[in-house]
Amino acid sequence: METNHNIYSTFAATAERHPDKTAVYYLGTRFTYRKLKNLSECFAAALSDNGIKAGQKVMLYIPNSIHWVVSWLGVQKIGAVAVPITPIYTPHDISYIANDSEAEAIICADTNFGYVTSVLAETGLKKVIVSKMADLLPWWKRFFGFLFDVVPKGKIALDQNTYSFRALLSRYRVPSAPLPANDRKGDSIAEI
């Protein structure tokens, strides 16, 4: 009997076996496997509902953070292909990689939003999801971080193709419809 294992199914099996174990610590906040699985499935539902399908490329232009992990797992859940790039890349780099990889969506930090918007017209990027460094922190950490101006932030403008990471997670807290089955095999491309 042949089983179909892919990256996400392996993660989900681990989360089922160890739901209360720590998966990630981010800025002093503990995220269990259960919480990480829930967040990644909510994010996968948001991606799917906004037209991202298996095999499509999604750029991850965010620093190493809980947002990166949730985004990457959400991309894997729906069978899309992650295209992670370093957050220090310039608009020229973003444009080149977006076109070369044929990416259709990008997840970026608010601090890099200006770079992304400056190249949208010259790329095939159709969707932009913007995260803030404090999006997934407890309310009191967000409050004091912004109060004492210790959280990096950038200016963003949301529109019909630009979404807030935090708002998407909130909106898809309970997926409105079942996610399409990820039937991608373990040897399918998961990341470029």
- Which pLDDT score is estimated for 14? 96
- Which pLDDT score is estimated for 1? 37
126-184 per-position pLDDT tens digit: 999 999 988 888 888 888 887 787 777 888 888 999 999 999 999 998 655 666 666 66
Nearest residue to 165 via CA among 89, 58, 32, 13: 58
- pLDDT tier at 185, thresholds 50, 70, 90: low
103: part of which helix (H) or strand (E)? strand 103-109
- pLDDT tier at 2, thresholds 50, 70, 90: very low
Nearest residue to 42 via CA among 29, 34, 143: 34
Contact 105, 128 (CB under 8 A): yes
Nearest residue to 77 via CA among 105, 35, 37: 37
Percent of residues, the chain, with pLDDT higher than 90: 70
- Which pLDDT score is estimated for 115? 97
74-96 per-position pLDDT tens digit: 999 999 999 999 999 999 999 99
The residue count for the chain: 192
22 pLDDT above the threshold of 90: yes
- Which pLDDT score is estimated for 7? 87
The domain spans of the chain are 7-171
- Which comes out higher in pLDDT, residue 11 or 138? 11
How wide is the angle at C-alpha 92 spanned by C-alphas 88 and 96, nearest 5°? 105
CATH 3.40.50.980 fits 7-171, yes or no: yes
92-114 per-position pLDDT tens digit: 999 999 999 999 999 999 999 99
| CA distance linking residue 93 with residue 55, whole number of Å | 22
